[in-house]
A and B are shown apart, each in its own frame.
Chain A
């Protein structure tokens, strides 16, 4: 399994930006970087993915380091509904996702 490293937990104040880091030093040239999140008692939910360039969508932004060995998921204004476990996953081309333990984000009102 392609390896990623994330902090176990992070906290953020409501309505402030959140930067969730991920290290993937063994990434290969064709691996996509995916982010999913899992809200309590729900299935995983896609957040964003990218290959080399930074990506933006309605949920978040993904900043990818130039050497691709790390990336950061940016939630621009955290809400209470963003409290979840966030998973950074390398997708190796077979489109199978190997989840790690992720980062548990707590949003403080």
Chain B
């Protein structure tokens, strides 16, 4: 069964450092997303991406965040200058078309120290 893969599974970084979280969506999917979940809290939408551009973003997705699809298979989330409050599980998801099943990866646990 096709799946969304995320790397690394766990990343520890120092406050102020840049991190790049990587995702490989399912190959024929056109819509890509990032979500995050702070420990013990609900899953929060960050950004959606379609046709090589951001289609929607939440208030959380401020200027320190950026997304990119650098090639035909990867989808990345960059956090420019990490803060302690960025510590969370980050989930990538993809879907074939709108309003259908979204497939989530297993997540990257980001710990900012």
Contact = CB atoms under 8 A, between A and B. Distances in A.
A74 interface: no
B99 A99 contact: no
B44 interface: yes
A101 B42 CA distance: 6
Given A93-B98, A95-B99, A43 B105 contact: yes
B65 to A, nearest CB: 15
Interface in A44-83: 44-46, 49
B45 A98 contact: yes
Chain B, interface size: which category? Answer: 20 to 34
Name the prevailing secondary structure of the B interface residues: strand
Contact of B95 (A32, A45, A93, A95): A95
B98 A95 contact: yes
Contact of B107 (A43, A100, A101): A43
A43 B95 contact: no
B45 A95 contact: no
A97 interface: yes
Interface of B: 31, 33, 35, 42-45, 48, 55-56, 91, 93, 95, 98-107
15 contacts: A32-B99, A42-B107, A43-B91, A43-B106, A44-B35, A44-B102, A49-B99, A49-B100, A93-B99, A94-B55, A94-B56, A95-B48, A95-B95, A95-B102, A99-B45
Interface of A: 32, 38, 42-46, 49, 87, 91, 93-102
